[in-house]
Structure 1
Amino acid sequence: TQGGSVVFHVTRRPEVPPEAKLEKISWAVKNESNYIVLLHVSPGVDVPERVNPQDKFKERLHVLNTTTLRIDKLTLEDSGWYRARCSFSTGIENAQYFHLSVYEPVPRPQVLAKVLSLTRDWCNVTLACITTGATGAVNVSWESKGLPRELEQRGAPGPAPNPWTLALTLPLSQPSPRVTCVVRSPVDQKSATRDLGEVCVHGECSCLRGGDSRGSGPPGEGFMFCP
């Protein structure tokens, strides 16, 4: 996740003979079609050799041991391919490759609820899950306790007028379900839960942001906030 850390670890390949001693590991990052060497690490040498200390990584590279590299404070631009080229005393060289994908943190969603019609027996309500500021590959799913359905939509969320929506017809004679909107990326997730009994009892529209705290923000088209 953006702002987090990643650790790359080099393992000894089976084809390297036991008598071959590791002399150096050169870490590099792919820039378009070429690999740019960042630093050299040698066993027994405490301080790694930085090729360009003023590159985009600056103080974010940390050598934990001879075969392990950590990158801190990840940015979206750090995504891509990395290479560790190992040189041995017998003249053997081999390379190991690592692919890094950095994702933005998932924003906390808002759940808007609007009652379309309310009778003595039924409550017709439409829910909208709004993920303001979400970019990239995220999945949105509706999960519930008390409802026999789950709706999942995939892809990048649209702007506020085009939220993920879920239309429900609820029998008022049954216990009120709680519906949760879950927004997931490959490395993070956030959720917001709405008690539909509260919505249908009041017969109004309302918003809930994450858990049970009232939220505020731009509503989706056709939705209003209630005090």
Structure 2
Amino acid sequence: MLPGLTLDMPGKYNADMTYTGIYLYSITGGQDDLLQVHGLLHQSITMSYHQPLELPVRMAIWEIKRGRKIFALAEYNGGQLEIHNEQFMDRLQASDSGASLRISSLRMEDTDVFKVEIILTNLQIQTVYFNLTVHEPVPAPIISAYTGRDSEGRCEFTLNCSVPTNTSLIWFSWMYREGDSGYWHHANGSSISITLQNLAETTEFLCLAQNPADIKNASFHSQQICQNLKSSSRGQDDLLQVDGLLNQSITMSYHQPFQLPVRKAIWEIKRGRKIFALAEYNEGQLEIHNEQFMDRLQASDSGASLRISSLRMEDTDVFKAEIILTNLQIQTVYFNLTVHEPVPAPIISAYTGRDSEGLCEFTLNCSVPTNTSLIWFSWMYREGDSGYRHHANGSSISITLQNLAETTEFLCLAQNPADIKNASFHSQQICQNLKSSSNRTRWIKFSVLFLVVAVLCLVLLLFIKITKH
């Protein structure tokens, strides 16, 4: 557990737990399948029946079900997809002999219940329903910090996470990390109260805002409050860590309030013992002295904050700001800027799936397609439409689901200090297949056993008949 970190609100805290698997429960029946599918506005979604079919597909008929009314959507036959609904014209693509249907450029009005009748070559019909819900993208969350104070070596503050619009069906959760370690789950909810002992300035808090189809995040470094409190109590120069994303923008800002107005600000680059001029803010004007940053700097807060746009990898450096107040007092601040490449989209691979006595067991591995350095992985999970919970850190996890909990979703987070990407995996992608193959295996075993018993009975009857004669 993070030393000196206490929770002042209820929440699940998993920092000192190790996971080797998780047991979740669900109930499945023998009726037609109803699968929940979540899509993101303007993106694509595939409605796919993951259970293997015993015979090849002859044709597939797709329909839209609204209450008791059925509307024709599309029909796949002879390798051709014929679309019957104008709303989806040029937006449908079939695969798996028509058993899977991809909808592109999703619209909010695409939210509906879809029905597919999969007709096999023996004319057997498998009916599946997909409850598709299209969601708007989650707005980028905003973190606000309140009531920061330094009391006997403790830095205390409250963080609130919100989104700028009243978008419905968004829930919040928090993660944290120390330095460059992986994130740990902290709590669920939009607000958390934090107490850090010994001014743990390297602690970062990550707010995740999510709906069933999208997730966005924002980060807050405790040093934004704690180092300011430390500075006000000790009077030393500050060194603030700033992480930026390639081609994006970053603002180096000194958050401590000044006793007097700022007269001017001098910005420099510090490389070892050498100092290079960067820019100077005076009388409302910013004068740039470094060709590397020409047309990429913008000052605010009377020059106490400096924004660098279109970040380059070579912008990684230590920046020094001398903030001169009207009484000629100088406040010196250092910013250690590190520019990172974007995190590639992660890929989830599943291995060794098997069904044993109602248990669906498999291993998930998360990786990125390039050898980008400084990327760490963590896993979250949820059942149905509930919020995500932290599961484990690391690129691989071993899962055991009881009773084939087919609605369980696992989310892999691949991240560096400036960026985060995710990929999801639904347990039904393995568990439903295992369920089907397990049922077939049981029927095969039963059939073999039945034949063996029948043969033995026949032999016994023949033996009895022979002995009587």
TM value normalised by structure 1: 0.68
Q: Secondary structure at the match of 1:127?
A: strand
What's the CA shift for 1:42?
1.2
Residue 117 (1) aligns with residue 149 (2):
yes
Could you say which residue in structure 1 is the equivalent of 2:43?
A: 4
Match of 1:69 among 78, 101, 106: 101
CA deviation vs aligned residue, 1:4-39 (integer Å, no higher than 9, x gap): 11223457744xxx6x972x3221111232221112
Q: CA deviation at 1:91?
A: 5.4
The answer as to whether partners of 2:201 and 2:227 remain within 8 angstroms in 1 is no
Change (3 A) 1:213 1:106: farther
- Alpha-carbon distance in structure 2 between the residues aligned to 1:90 and 1:149: 51
Q: Following superposition of structure 1 onto structure 2, how do residues 66-215 of structure 1 map, counting pairs within 5 Å?
A: 66-67=97-98, 68-87=100-119, 92-119=124-151, 121-133=153-165, 135-146=167-178, 150-153=186-189, 164-203=190-229, 213=250
In the other structure, the counterpart of 2:12 is none
Q: How many residues align?
A: 193
After superposition, the CA RMSD in angstroms is: 3.5
The aligned residue for residue 31 of structure 1 is: 66
| Cα distance in 1, alignment partners of residues 169 and 112 from structure 2 | 16
Partner residue in 2 for 1:207: none
Q: Which amino acid aligns with 1:151?
A: A
Specify the code of the residue in structure 1 equivalent to 2:213.
Answer: V
> Matches of 1:91 and 1:116 in 2, distance apart?
70
Q: Give the secondary structure class of the aligned counterpart of 2:105.
A: coil
CA distance in structure 2 between the partners assigned to 1:145 and 1:92 by the alignment: 54
Secondary structure of the 1:66 match is: helix
Percent identical across equivalent pairs?
Answer: 22
8 Å contact from structure 1 (residues 115, 123) kept in 2:
no
What is the alpha-carbon distance in structure 1 between the residues aligned to residue 206 and residue 184 of structure 2? 13
Letter of the 1:100 partner, please give it: L
Per-residue Cα deviation, 1:87-114 (whole angstroms, up to 9, x for no partner): 4676554423223232222221111113
> For residue 57 of structure 1, what is the amino acid of its counterpart?
F
SS of structure 1 residue aligned to 2:134: coil
Structure 2 CA distance for partners of 1:194 and 1:92, relative to 1, 3 Å? closer
In the alignment, the residues of structure 2 paired with residue 193 and residue 100 of structure 1 have an alpha-carbon distance, to the nearest angstrom, of: 32
Deviation at 1:172, TM superposition (A): 3.8
SS at match of 1:200: helix
CA distance in 2, matches of 1:144, 1:90: 56
In structure 2, the CA distance between the partners of 1:200 and 1:98, relative to structure 1 (3 Å rule), is same
Which has a greater percent of helix?
Answer: 2
With the length of structure 2 as denominator, give the TM-score of the two structures.
0.36
Bigger-Rg structure (1/2): 2
Q: 1:198 to 1:87 in 2, by over 3 A?
A: closer
- Give the Å deviation of 1:86: 3.6
Distance in 2 between the 1:89 and 1:195 partners?
Answer: 61
- Higher mean C-alpha displacement, 171-180 vs 86-95: 86-95
Q: Relative to 1, partners in 2 of residues 1:179 and 1:21: Cα closer, same or farther, differing over 3 Å? A: closer
1: CA distance, partners of 2:199 / 2:126:
69
Q: Which has the higher contact order (CA 8 A, sep 6+)?
A: 1
Deviation digits for residues 131-162 of structure 1 (CA, Å, limit 9, x no counterpart): 22263433311211249982212xxxxxxxxx
Which amino acid counterpart does residue 212 of structure 2 have in structure 1?
A: P
More strand by share: 2
Tell me by how many angstroms 1:129 deviates: 0.9
Which amino acid counterpart does residue 64 of structure 2 have in structure 1? V
Q: Give the counterpart letter for 1:194 in structure 2.
A: F
**CA 1:198 to 1:31, structure 2 compared with 1: closer, same or farther past 3 Å?**
same
SS in 2 for 1:107: coil
Alpha-carbon distance in structure 1 between the residues aligned to 2:148 and 2:218 = 21
Residues 28/170 of structure 1: CA separation in 2 closer, same or farther (3 Å cut): same
* Distance in 1 separating the partners of 2:226 and 2:121: 75
Q: Is the 8 A contact 2:201 2:221 kept in 1?
A: no
* Structure 2 counterpart of 1:33, one-letter code: R
User: One-letter code of the match for 2:219?
Assistant: T
- Where does residue 239 of structure 2 map in the other structure? none
